[in-house]
């Protein structure tokens, strides 16, 4: 594409699709990524067209199978070097992942969501009964209110609920088949892959999973628990209630997380893809308080603690290598 730059000859939509195809090839040099960044910045319509083209590829699942395991570190040293000191292997993976961000599991639930947020976005909504919900980054939920029950289905992501008291209509949050039930309380629920976690700030919350039977847990302020669809809930770490859902105050708190887990947590707030294309010689646990408003710098800083450099392409891609 170096000699056939799409921005020079084609309409924005056609150019955007050509860029996506080029990125998906996995054989993209650093100067081409620079050219893409310049093209995106050249006109507002370019960025919009690129987002539309990328969404089309995502929905089609064109590269889902080929990149089903994006977390594997790239092979080190044998690959030839490209511009900016980044090897061809990380660039190829980075470019392909940019085009094929595998989010079908997010897009499909999002289509039936009543309330949702994009990556890096937070949203506060007052519900019909006076309860409020604060959605964290990249989250979605559906409302299923009836005269007998106030049910909220967390489709993916994380939410904090402050529940209006109504003893005649229990407030129930469903996720992965399990439930967190409260009457007049404040608590947070997070769904990630096949695991749901619940933490309480005020009041009481009863947690149950599909396999719980009678083995439910009653949580008090500061208590937490987690469950999987095939396992009963288990008690988690107790912490001061004011530390629950610190993200509501613009803080991402990492407390001794392994390096990759720390990057994954911060990556939830990054609008594009984050790729770890190298392994630290001696991985170090990560602790600190970070701001979602400068998430790119936060991820780069965590990489620096492991001796890794960073390469960022706008809001679309960040590579630690």
Cα separation values, 216 from 101, 180, 219, Å: 37, 10, 10
Same domain (yes/no): 255, 312: yes
Listed residue (178, 158, 184, 176) closest to 244, CA to CA: 158
Packing angle, helices 30-42 and 44-60, rounded to 10: 120
pLDDT of residue 48: 72
What CA–CA distance (Å, rounded) separates 91 from 97? 10
Q: How many helices (H) and strands (E) does the chain have?
A: 8, 18
Same domain (yes/no): 240, 265: no
Same domain (yes/no): 118, 68: no
DSSP lists the bridge partners of residue 73 as none
Cα separation values, 12 from 9, 95, 217, Å: 9, 20, 55
Give the end of a domain, one of 39, 70, 102: 102
Q: Is residue 69 part of a domain?
A: yes
Give the end of a domain, one of 223, 244, 265: 244
Same domain (yes/no): 15, 59: yes
pLDDT of residue 88: 54
Per-residue pLDDT of the chain in tens (321 residues, 90 and over written 9): 333 344 345 677 778 777 777 776 556 666 777 777 778 778 767 877 777 676 656 544 433 433 333 343 443 434 444 444 455 555 555 555 554 443 333 334 444 789 999 999 999 999 999 999 999 999 999 999 999 999 999 999 999 999 999 989 999 999 988 999 997 799 999 998 789 999 999 999 999 987 767 778 999 999 999 998 888 899 999 999 988 999 999 999 999 999 999 999 999 999 988 999 888 888 899 999 999 999 999 999 999 999 999 999 888 899 999
What CA–CA distance (Å, rounded) separates 5 from 112? 38
Q: Is residue 109 part of a domain?
A: no
What CA–CA distance (Å, rounded) separates 34 from 239? 46
Q: Assign residue 149 the CATH number of its domain.
A: 2.60.120.1440
Q: Is residue 269 part of a domain?
A: yes
Same domain (yes/no): 212, 139: yes
Give the end of a domain, one of 209, 244, 279: 244
Question: HEC string of 189-236?
Answer: EEEECCEEEEEEEECCEEEECCCCCCCCEEECCCCEEEEECCEEEEEC
Q: Judge contact between 92 and 66, C-beta under 8 A.
A: no
Same domain (yes/no): 125, 213: yes
Q: Is residue 197 part of a domain?
A: yes
Same domain (yes/no): 73, 127: no
State the total domains in the chain.
3
Helix ranges (DSSP H) in 64-207 = 88-99, 104-111
Q: At 285, is the secondary structure helix, strand, or coil?
A: coil
Q: Assign residue 292 the CATH number of its domain.
A: 3.55.50.30
- Residue-number span of the structural domain to which 171 is assigned: 114-244
Q: Is residue 31 part of a domain?
A: yes
DSSP lists the bridge partners of residue 231 as 228
The number of residues in the chain equals 321
What CA–CA distance (Å, rounded) separates 28 from 12? 20
What CA–CA distance (Å, rounded) separates 321 from 263? 13
Q: Is residue 22 part of a domain?
A: yes
Q: Is residue 1 part of a domain?
A: no
Helix ranges (DSSP H) in the chain = 6-9, 12-24, 30-42, 44-60, 88-99, 104-111, 259-267, 295-305
Same domain (yes/no): 271, 227: no
Q: Judge contact between 155 and 109, C-beta under 8 A.
A: yes
Same domain (yes/no): 266, 232: no
Q: Is residue 108 part of a domain?
A: no
Same domain (yes/no): 127, 238: yes
Same domain (yes/no): 237, 142: yes
Same domain (yes/no): 97, 118: no
The residues, any chain, with a CB within 8 Å of residue 294's CB and separated by 6 or more, are: none
pLDDT of residue 109: 42
């Amino acid at each position: 594409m170096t000699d056939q730059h799409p921005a020079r000859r084609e309409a924005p939509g056609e150019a955007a699709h050509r860029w996506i195809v080029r990125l998906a090839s996995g054989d993209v040099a650093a100067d081409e990524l620079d050219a893409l960044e310049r093209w995106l910045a050249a006109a507002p319509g370019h960025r919009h067209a690129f987002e539309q083209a990328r969404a089309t590829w995502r929905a089609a699942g064109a590269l889902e199978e080929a990149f089903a395991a994006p977390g594997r570190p790239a092979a080190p040293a044998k690959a030839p070097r490209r511009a900016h000191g980044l090897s061809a292997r990380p660039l190829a993976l980075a470019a392909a992942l940019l085009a094929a961000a595998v989010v079908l599991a997010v897009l499909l639930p999002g289509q039936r969501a009543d309330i949702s947020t994009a990556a890096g976005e937070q949203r506060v909504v007052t519900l019909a009964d006076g309860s409020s919900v604060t959605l964290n980054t990249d989250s979605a939920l559906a409302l299923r209110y009836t005269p007998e029950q106030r049910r909220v289905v967390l489709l993916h992501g994380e939410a904090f609920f402050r529940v209006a008291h109504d003893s005649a209509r229990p407030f129930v949050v469903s996720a992965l088949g399990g439930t967190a039930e409260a009457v007049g309380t404040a608590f947070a629920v997070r769904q990630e892959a096949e695991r749901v976690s619940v933490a309480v700030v005020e009041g009481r919350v009863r947690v149950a999973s599909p396999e719980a039977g009678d083995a439910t847990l009653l949580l008090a302020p500061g208590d937490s628990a987690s469950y999987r669809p095939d396992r009963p809930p288990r008690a988690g770490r107790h912490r001061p209630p004011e530390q629950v859902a610190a993200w509501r105050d613009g803080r991402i708190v990492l407390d001794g997380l392994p390096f990759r887990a720390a990057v994954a947590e911060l990556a939830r707030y990054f609008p594009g893809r984050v790729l770890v294309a190298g392994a630290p010689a001696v991985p170090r646990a990560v602790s600190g308080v970070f701001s979602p408003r400068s998430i790119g710098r936060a991820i780069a800083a965590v990489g620096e603690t492991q001796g890794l450099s960073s390469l960022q392409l706008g809001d679309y891609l960040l590579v630690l290598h």
